[in-house]
Homo-oligomer: A and B are copies of this chain.
Amino acid sequence: MSSRERRKDGGIPSGVVTRLPIYLRYLTELRDQGVGRVSSAQLGKALSFTAAQIRSDLSYFGSFGQQGYGYDVDELLMHISRILGLNRTYAMVLVGAGNLGKALASYENFRKRGFEIRAIFDVDEILVGNYHACCVIQPVEELDQYLKENPTDIGIIATPGHVSQDICDVLVANNVPCIWNFSPVHLQVPDEVIVEHIHLTDSLLRLSFRLNEQRHRD
């Protein structure tokens, strides 16, 4: 692997981290199809990476692969799962029970992987008190008290943009270490807080950019 990419603190470069879930997903598909082993060339072809890239990425986690044999799917899955922290459960709260929030709360894959939405909050009095995906929707004013009583790993923000920083501040003040942000706003958080943004419009704009680039080229 390139020394340029290897981080000085011994941590795993963000590019590799970004690809680990992709490996996990594809290897899970392979295991479910009964595939026992896979070569770096096969992985690369399926995922549109080079075989060298695959070998480089996986080398961060010890030497699983054997020349001429490839990787044992189960073993690789186990290693990647552990590296991704999938050997435990994560307590989550969801703020915002609109269509997007409801979709997130209903998503079975999260729970299967150990990510459990344990409480849902919304500002809308019509929604409060309703059950959704095994949680009663609580008034957002109770978020602060809930977090004081229930240590929480991940706060999901699926609110309109104009309130998301306020919600974020409540999460941060209650030591929620991770924020999963679906609102179209760049949140201000202390350095130690981990944030993942899902900016849907950004993704759509990358599509339109690439479409226009392609049309100008043709």
Which A residues fall within an 8 A CB radius of B?
11-12, 17-18, 20-22, 24-26, 29, 46-47, 83-86, 90, 98-100, 102-104, 106-107, 109-110, 113, 115, 153-154, 177-178, 180, 184-186, 192, 194, 196, 198-214
| Contact assessment for A21 and B198 in the assembled complex, using a CB-CB cutoff below 8 Å | no
Please name all residues of chain B whose beta carbon is closer than 8 Å to the beta carbon of A29 when the two chains form the complex. 185-186
Please name all residues of chain B whose beta carbon is closer than 8 Å to the beta carbon of A115 when the two chains form the complex. 204, 208
Least CB distance from A19 to B in Å reads 9
| Contact assessment for B178 and A211 in the assembled complex, using a CB-CB cutoff below 8 Å | yes
Please name all residues of chain B whose beta carbon is closer than 8 Å to the beta carbon of A178 when the two chains form the complex. 207, 210-211
| Contact assessment for B20 and A205 in the assembled complex, using a CB-CB cutoff below 8 Å | yes
Least CB distance from A108 to B in Å reads 10
Least CB distance from A53 to B in Å reads 15
Please name all residues of chain B whose beta carbon is closer than 8 Å to the beta carbon of A184 when the two chains form the complex. 25, 109
As for how many copies of this chain the complex holds, the number is 2
Please name all residues of chain B whose beta carbon is closer than 8 Å to the beta carbon of A185 when the two chains form the complex. 29
Pick the contact of A201: B25, B210, B213 (CB < 8 A): B25
Please name all residues of chain B whose beta carbon is closer than 8 Å to the beta carbon of A106 when the two chains form the complex. 98-99
| Contact assessment for A208 and B90 in the assembled complex, using a CB-CB cutoff below 8 Å | yes
Name which of A18, A180, A184, A200 has the most chain B CB atoms within 10 A of its CB.
A200
| Contact assessment for B83 and A209 in the assembled complex, using a CB-CB cutoff below 8 Å | yes
| Contact assessment for A103 and B113 in the assembled complex, using a CB-CB cutoff below 8 Å | no
| Contact assessment for A211 and B85 in the assembled complex, using a CB-CB cutoff below 8 Å | yes
Chain A to chain B contacts (Cβ below 8 Å), 19 pairs: A18-B206, A21-B202, A24-B205, A29-B185, A29-B186, A46-B186, A47-B186, A85-B208, A85-B211, A85-B212, A99-B103, A100-B100, A100-B103, A110-B200, A115-B204, A154-B207, A154-B211, A177-B211, A198-B198
How far is A198 from B203 in the complex, measured between Cα atoms in Å?
Answer: 8
| Contact assessment for B85 and A201 in the assembled complex, using a CB-CB cutoff below 8 Å | no
| Contact assessment for A25 and B202 in the assembled complex, using a CB-CB cutoff below 8 Å | yes
Please name all residues of chain B whose beta carbon is closer than 8 Å to the beta carbon of A204 when the two chains form the complex. 110, 113, 115, 154, 180, 196
How far is A110 from B24 in the complex, measured between Cα atoms in Å?
Answer: 31
